[in-house]
Amino acid sequence: MMISYLVVAFSIFVTCYTRSRNCIDDFDIDIKESQGYNYPIPHSYESEYWSELQTEYKVTRKMSWSRNFYIFGKFVDESAAGGDDTIISAGLYRGDELIYKTIINCESGTWENWILDKKTEQERILLHGKINKTVSCKTGDDFDLILKNDNDRLANWILNAQPLQHEVRKFSKKTNKISEGKRQIRTGILRPKVKVDSKYSTFNATRFEFTATGRAVFDRFAFGQCDAWPKNMEMQCQKVREWIHARSKANMTEETLAQLQSTPDANFTRGLGTFGNNMESFIPTCLTKKYFNWFQGTVHPDRETPMYPGEPANKEKRAYCCCTNMKTGRVFEDDPEKNCISTPTCITLGWTCVRAYDPVVGGEIYEEGKKEH
């Protein structure tokens, strides 16, 4: 039987966790009540909080703040399934009305994305497809489902690094960069072909609900403008790096992947390109397979990070740099106010984060290096 309950968001905006960086919320779900969750989206009733007007270079435009929804779970044995089919569903809602949801059926090996039609106000399928071989619904296996919400009509579902989307569109648009009195044109922009053309925009959503039947149960949820990864990956920096990369917007060629075979990133996949979660530049950097670098120069930004005009050349500047715990990857001393600043300021001040360097870990790395040589 499916159980649903309500959670209230307690966390402050820049809370950082062992298994995520800069999320608004990141919490475990009680396994006894793990087949339904109704999450009230923070600031959902504040007009244009997630989408507002900004002026750059004397040009006013609508700026969207992307959001990340992370669901983690596992498949239990048949005795706990109660005879029901194993189905996972998650979606954005405005009150009781659907905006956008996905339904994953493990029995049929299929997925469907649904919206609320503007004209008929009836729910209808927007996209559908097959679950690929990288997604397993076997007992004991873990699963993760991510919704990357880029703007008011763009949202991508990702199941175990498989995008539940297909086909892209290419277009050009005016940028905020002015040259000789004219706004410059950026060409070759790629986006998912299908827009979420629902009755309400994705930023009108007041809640995010996810439910499961059969053998699927949830054990954790995270939300924010952030990166998150599975639990219990302390001292496994390279695995965290690979996990985030596989779900990122990276779009590597065969040539690039071949060049990585002699590096610690030999297990990298292509990435998901247009259908990915976050930019690959925000992936954690590692000192070894076990340990995170104590200095992370590009941590995922949020609404508090200053905007830098002149896209796309200056996009990498819109990030945080953070002093980092070398074992867990979390912000040093769990204090982002003290240990994170904007990347341009970080460069100007010459931050090196010496205070976050762990000499015990450094000694271990040194001894291992001597053995290898």
Same domain, 96 and 200: yes
User: Which residues constitute the domain of residue 346?
Assistant: 234-372
Average of per-residue pLDDT across 144-152: 95
CATH number of the structural domain spanning residue 120: 2.60.120.200
For the chain, the domain total comes to 2
Q: Is residue 6 in some structural domain? A: no
- In this structure, are residues 127 and 164 in contact, taking their beta carbons and an 8 Å threshold? yes
pLDDT digits (tens, 9 = 90+) for 8-42: 333 333 344 458 888 999 999 986 668 999 999 99
* Residues 156 and 37 both lie in one domain: yes
pLDDT tens track for 153-168 = 999 999 999 999 988 8
| 128/271 same-domain check | no
User: Encoding tokens for residue 249?
Assistant: 């917007």
Residues 255 and 328 occupy one common structural domain: yes
Report the pLDDT averaged over residues 245-265.
96
Q: Tell me the percentage of the chain whose pLDDT exceeds 90.
A: 67
Coil, strand, or helix at residue 5? coil
Same domain membership, residue 246 and residue 206: no
CA distance 67 to 296: 21
Closest CA to 193 of 273, 270, 136: 273
Say if residue 333's pLDDT is above 60: yes
Query: Distance between CA atoms of 111 and 101, rounded to whole angstroms?
Result: 11
CA distance 106 to 73: 14
Indicate whether 210 and 295 sit together in one domain: no
pLDDT of 287-312, one tens digit each?
999 999 999 999 999 988 877 654 44
Shared domain for 200 and 266, answered yes or no, is no
- Residues ≥6 apart with Cβ < 8 Å to 276: 148, 156, 158, 163, 247, 248, 249, 250
247 and 213 inside one domain? no
Decide if 14 is inside a domain.
no
User: Both 76 and 157 in a single domain?
Assistant: yes
214 and 254 in a single domain? The answer is no
Q: Is the model's pTM score more than 0.85?
A: yes
Same domain, residue pair 48 and 114? yes
pLDDT in tens, 173-208: 777 677 777 777 777 677 787 899 999 999 999 999
Do both 80 and 144 map to the same domain? yes
